[in-house]
């Protein structure tokens, strides 16, 4: 039954930033290492200028927010419960998130947009960097493809087509799903964090992405959307 499938899914999104506010704040060693990577990726920019992109690489960035969503049926109507782990202390929020995964007694599935290419490997790498043990769901070494419990809405939309990336923003627009991009976008997260020091604003943005992903998954499954009155924040 679809309800049983939903109960096993954790919808997920993360927000990441560069390790420091600017390139000059890095250690000399990390400046040199970023310069090497930047030279290959952003040949038209110097290392300091390109450092704003460092947040998308787990070796040079860090996670400041992980938001999750749990969809369930109540009186025949879909509800979603949203929760966020956000902190200036990355190890603390990763520990709390890992505990959520370990608390689930049955096999769970993580669902996100481009989760296989970005969110999951980023979380796993940052956990290892912070000296944390990977939860069973994230520890996929040696597993066969069908044993990996990740649902990627980007993959679902591709239907086997690997020619191009389709953004969550585009998919929510064509399906008439209320957009999650009505405040800031990913390129502004580092500025909001370092300059505005407004982590709460980033959490709100991240939760909207989780809600949008859950709605997109329901659309792809041919299901009705979640009523705005059935959204709970915990």
State the DSSP string of 32-78: HHHHHHHHHH-TTS-HHHHGGGGGGSTTTEEEEEEEEEEEEEETTEE
pLDDT score of 56 more than 90:
yes
Which pLDDT value is given to residue 135?
93
- For residues 234 and 44, the model is more confident at 234
The stretch 41-69 carries a mean pLDDT of 93
pLDDT score of 160 more than 70:
yes
Which pLDDT value is given to residue 195?
94
pTM of the model: 0.94
Those residues whose C-beta lies under 8 Å from the C-beta of residue 118, and which sit 6 or more positions away, are: 14, 56
pLDDT band at residue 83 using 50, 70 and 90 as cut-offs: very high
d(CA 33, CA 47): 10
Report the percentage of the chain scoring pLDDT > 90: 76
DSSP line for 155-170? HHHHTT--S----HHH
pLDDT tens profile 24-51:
999 999 999 999 999 988 887 888 889 9
Those residues whose C-beta lies under 8 Å from the C-beta of residue 1, and which sit 6 or more positions away, are: none
pLDDT band at residue 107 using 50, 70 and 90 as cut-offs: confident
pLDDT band at residue 232 using 50, 70 and 90 as cut-offs: very high
pLDDT band at residue 156 using 50, 70 and 90 as cut-offs: very high
Report the percentage of the chain scoring pLDDT > 70: 97
pLDDT score of 180 more than 60:
no
Which pLDDT value is given to residue 178?
74
d(CA 216, CA 210): 10
Which pLDDT value is given to residue 181?
53
CATH number of 2-19+60-233: 3.30.420.10
**Residue 150 CB neighbours (<10 A):** 18
List the Cα angle 45/51/190 in 5-degree steps.
135
Mean residue pLDDT across the chain? 92
pLDDT band at residue 105 using 50, 70 and 90 as cut-offs: low
């Amino acid at each position: 039954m679809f309800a049983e499938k939903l109960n096993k899914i954790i919808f997920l999104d993360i927000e990441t930033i560069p390790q420091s506010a600017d390139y000059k704040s890095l250690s000399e060693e990390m400046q040199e290492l970023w310069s090497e990577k930047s030279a290959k990726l952003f040949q038209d920019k110097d290392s300091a200028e390109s450092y704003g992109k460092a947040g998308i690489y787990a070796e040079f960035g860090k996670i400041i927010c992980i938001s999750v969503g749990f969809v369930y049926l109540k009186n025949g109507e879909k509800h979603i419960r949203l929760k966020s782990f956000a902190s200036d202390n990355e190890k603390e929020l990763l520990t709390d998130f890992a505990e959520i995964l370990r608390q689930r007694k049955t096999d769970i599935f993580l669902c996100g947009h481009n989760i296989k290419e970005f969110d999951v490997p980023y979380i796993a790498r940052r956990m290892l960097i912070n000296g944390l043990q990977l939860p069973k769901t994230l520890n996929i070494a040696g597993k066969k493809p069908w044993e990996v419990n990740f649902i990627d809405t980007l993959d679902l939309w591709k239907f086997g087509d690997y020619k191009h990336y389709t953004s969550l923003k585009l998919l929510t627009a064509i399906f008439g799903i209320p957009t999650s991009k009505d405040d800031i976008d990913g390129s502004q997260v580092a500025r909001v964090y370092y300059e505005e020091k407004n982590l709460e604003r980033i959490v709100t943005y991240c939760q909207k992405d989780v809600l949008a992903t859950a709605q997109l998954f329901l659309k792809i499954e041919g299901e009705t959307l979640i009523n705005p009155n059935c959204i709970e924040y915990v």
